[in-house]
Structure 1
């Protein structure tokens, strides 16, 4: 494995961005290269990066706003190494992240995706336990029993389409596999799952390493949370799951296709968002969320 490229697409809170960058600087394995692609216009950010004085850190600001998927695509285009991570600008690497993923790649060099152990934190950086994360951990995530697992094929696709237990910003990716597929421009909050399922359909493997290496931040200000309250994200999900189910049927993976059509975890997620929509007095969102959650699966 060459130097790990850490790509950081940014738009939002400058303080959280700086914390994410500091977590990269604190790595026990210094063989990394950080590229920040700023889709915002916050004052003082370019100057802060210039003050770091670390040749491993590069910063560029987009001339125009590309949006979340557009910025993801640009980050992938800029990857130079064999492997990369797409770090969220509100997330944190634990000090051993680079060391952990490099060891996983060395052990299973042919895989396309590497999932290290993840700790969930809230907007204040405190450990957090959410219903969604507990459901994913208990019902969908594999039992590693302290060892690396290698997963692939239709069983993995069916599992993830039933409940996506991966943490996208924590994944280490094999660059050539991702560049061959890319992020879909017609998706804004489920594009990570679409990429992962397509990689699996093409025969790529996922390595799960239980060693804690990443802090994933959950807070109400995220794009996915904002769209969930209005019900917008679930309209995109319905379209994607219907489309991928048909694709998987044609591919000869009926179990994965059935899992996509049922997408039970996403339906349950929609149901849990109803109280928030009620608090915001969004009767239109309540109707959409209930309609999505309670529609009979094909």
Structure 2
């Protein structure tokens, strides 16, 4: 069995410095030391370059963009900087558990021809405490496949239809096969749903997704944003509508009618819009309320 090359951990950063430092420390604490961390800083927070210089670890590379690229372009830059066969796009407020690299390396060695590896995830709040949200419970109970502690290998139209009905993946926790992602990269015209767009295209190209049930990642949800700030982004659902309609047409041409129907219904996204309505109403955000209602109740094509 061929050993997996050094795992590239890419960290596109913009935001809270303390949370980013905790994310970096979680990489430094890995039981498997064969990793390389590249931080691409899209911000201007003071003291950050100096903090990285103080680490004195040759496995850590820090780059600061000359100008702000925005989320998707910074993602694309991270992909271009990947040097190994596999990589993870770690969120700068998320955490790796100590056995992340060890566990993902084992999954890759067991199923080397997959392109997407989804490990087990624990959800935490802004304080690092365990957190449960309606969205996460729906993901776990209704959409995520039942693995009973066993590694799963998924592919094809059933997987595409499943994810377009309800995306149960946690993007920052995923490990990717670099050549597959570099051939596509993230779409520059998407800023919210670019991860799902990439995954669906990979599946259409015949790539496999591995579910590795061991919980080795902590995904952070910020509870304060659920009632107010996120409701302000009602406009973001316009991007989702455009994507789902486009991908539905593409899947029809691809000969995957079940997946196309799932895209046109995009039921979980509609339900998500409904869950944001109370926050929009409570904060008297009339424009967001109208957008959310229109998105949630518009008839499928």
TM-score when normalising by structure 1: 0.98
**Residues 277 and 292, structure 2, Cα contact 8 Å, conserved in 1:** yes
Correspondence for 1:75: 78
TM-score when normalising by structure 2: 0.97
Correspondence for 2:287: 284
Correspondence for 1:185: 188
Deviation of 1:220 (Å)? 4.8
Take 1:94 and 1:50, find their aligned partners in 2: how far apart are those partners?
Answer: 24
Deviation of 1:296 (Å)? 1.3
**1:256 pairs with 2:259:** yes
Offset from partner CA, 1:244-276 (integer Å, 9 cap, x none):
000000000000000000000000000000011
Correspondence for 1:21: 24
- Runs of 5+ unmatched residues, structure 2: none
- Runs of 5+ unmatched residues, structure 1: none
Correspondence for 2:210: 207
Take 1:138 and 1:55, find their aligned partners in 2: how far apart are those partners?
Answer: 42
Query: What is the aligned counterpart of 1:40 among 21, 36, 43?
Result: 43
RMSD of aligned residue pairs (Cα, Å):
1.2
Take 1:280 and 1:18, find their aligned partners in 2: how far apart are those partners?
Answer: 33
Take 1:6 and 1:280, find their aligned partners in 2: how far apart are those partners?
Answer: 39
**Residues 244 and 263, structure 2, Cα contact 8 Å, conserved in 1:** yes
Query: What is the aligned counterpart of 1:235 among 233, 238, 247?
Result: 238
1:110-121 to 2 correspondences below 5 Å: 110-121=113-124
Offset from partner CA, 1:79-128 (integer Å, 9 cap, x none):
00000000000000000000010000000000000000000000000000
Take 2:180 and 2:160, find their aligned partners in 1: how far apart are those partners?
Answer: 17
SS at the partner of 1:27?
A: coil
Q: How many residues align?
A: 297
Query: What is the aligned counterpart of 1:156 among 153, 156, 159?
Result: 159
Take 2:300 and 2:240, find their aligned partners in 1: how far apart are those partners?
Answer: 13
**1:102 pairs with 2:105:** yes
